[in-house]
Structure 1
Amino acid sequence: MNTDWFAVIDGTWPAARITRAGPFRLREGRGGGQRVSAASAEGPFTEADIDAAEAAMRDMGQPRIFMIRPGEDALDAALAARGYPVVDPVNVHACPSAQLTDIPIPRVTVFALWEPLAIMREIWAQGGIGPGRLAVMERAPGPKTGLLARHRDKPGGVGFVAIHAGTAMVHAVEILPHQRRQGLGRWMMRAAAFWAVENGADTLSVICTQANTAANGLYAALGMEVVGAYHYRRLD
């Protein structure tokens, strides 16, 4: 897949504001998490450029956090020398959307709808996905949808899907603790695939921390491939 995964991430989970500090692209997250608050390099840099990026992030009231993408060994080493620890290595999984539409979704198992219902906001809140991340969803230009999964006529889980340049990406999957191990994650990904196909996205993708072995196992079992990876370096 010849896809710019970082453009898909930015397009489907957008920062509140993008600015520049020399060669660094700065994201203002406004409480939306690391993904929309991290700086990334767009060219060669100097130590003074890192200083300027750090100062700009402090001015935003954000932690000093940089996204390290494949091939950015020099930036990785420079930040390590400054005492930045590695945080949350991430995998990007993807597959053709149609691959997950081979099995019909059981009736009243997963609903795709936007705007989110109150119960969806409550489930996200229980998983630590609060107003800042909901604001990210609102900012996404779309097409986009929320996913509400049910099990035994009770709400079970939620997710968010948006499309950028023909690729759908799933974010903010949260399943209630007492509804886990019921296959809801699998059905939510299949529902996302059906929605993606209906909205013209040939590829379905999702990002997941490498530490989340259960989710990585689910995506592998669905036949999704690891097509990219990145990590952060962060100083609070």
Structure 2
Amino acid sequence: MAESACYPNAYITAFEATWPALRREPVGPFIYRDGAGGGSRTSAATLDGNFSTGDVSADALDQIESRFAADARPALFQIRTGEAAFDALLIERGYTMFDPTICLAAPIEAFAPSDPKCSYVSWPPVSIQREIWAEGGIGPARLAVMDRACAPKTSLLGRIKDRPAGVGFVALSGSVAVLHALEITPTERRKGMARILVTLAADWARTQGAATLALQVTRANTAALALYSSLGLREIGQYHYRTKPMTEA
């Protein structure tokens, strides 16, 4: 059995360890996840890294679809770089694609120091951070993901003229720090706050001994992609999701 072709294992491990599902279990050649409402990343099944796309049979797909149905959930898969044959099988079964996503990373030394007057780190998050996240659609289920993420971890808070302007969450897995849940208040967007928070995440990661800062962003978020590119973050992999309603699975 061959490992699925994708971005390096350290990043696969880091993305999941720092934004974990509530439960995960093997089902044939797949890993099944229950994210407890924490979003697609914590709820999608993936091809087990110990298997190749050639190990995905019609029977194996029937089995994983039945597992989703047992939890009264629509079948949901994350398809990574190098899994085209698996993707083709899902297309044949009528699955539709959404949220093509790019995985980015850069060495910690690529980031300039952050401005300590504009931002700080803390754990656990304070009320204003939770309010900003809630305004951006990051509610209790995703905050629970942060709570169960591996340590070390911290939350980020940025300010513009002493007003809370943005938040983020960063955690460490091995030598890789991963930035999640970056959210800027609507009135303070396009004022440089996202750049401040990314460099703050890199500063914190540096103190934890990280070698790399990584994150994920949808292809549709062109403004964020332009910012991350200007900061030296480069593509290391990609994925997308496929799903279909329970009545069709």
Query: Which interval holds the TM-score relative to the shorter structure?
Result: over 0.9
1:188 matched to 2:197? The reply is: yes
In the alignment, is the contact (CA less than 8 A) between 1:93 and 1:226 conserved in 2? Answer: yes
- Judged with a 3 Å threshold, the aligned counterparts in structure 2 of structure 1 residues 166 and 87 are, in CA distance, closer, same or farther, namely same
Residues 31, 132 of structure 1: 8 Å contact kept: yes
Q: Note the C-alpha offset of 1:107.
A: 3.4
The percentage of aligned residue pairs carrying the same residue is 44
Deviation at 1:161, TM superposition (A): 0.3
Which runs of 5 or more residues in structure 2 are unaligned? 1-6
- 1:81 Cα shift? 0.8
TM alignment of 1:1-236, pairs within 5 A: 4-42=10-48, 43=51, 44-100=55-111, 102=112, 104-236=113-245
- Name the CA shift for 1:97/1:3 in 2 (closer, same or farther; >3 Å): farther
CA distance in 2, matches of 1:105, 1:12: 22
Q: CA deviation at 1:139?
A: 0.6
Q: How many residues align?
A: 234
CA shift for structure 1 position 200: 1.0
Taking the aligned partners of 1:61 and 1:182, their CA distance within structure 2 comes to 43
**1:117-142: CA deviation from partner (whole Å, max 9, x where unpaired):** 01111110111101111110001011
Residue 4 of structure 1 aligns to a residue whose secondary structure is helix
In the alignment, the residues of structure 1 paired with residue 222 and residue 242 of structure 2 have an alpha-carbon distance, to the nearest angstrom, of 21
In the alignment, what sits opposite 2:3? none
TM-score norm. by structure 2 comes to: 0.91
Shift of 1:74: 1.4
Cα deviation 1:158-189 (Å, max 9, x = unaligned): 10001111100000011011010110000101
TM-score (norm 1): 0.96
**Unaligned regions of 5+ residues in structure 1, if any?**
none
Whole-angstrom distance in 1 between the partners of 2:115 and 2:93: 52
Query: Shift in Å at residue 61 of structure 1?
Result: 3.5
> In the TM superposition, what is the alpha-carbon distance from 1:53 to its structure 2 partner?
0.8
Secondary structure (helix, strand or coil) at the match of 2:17 reads helix
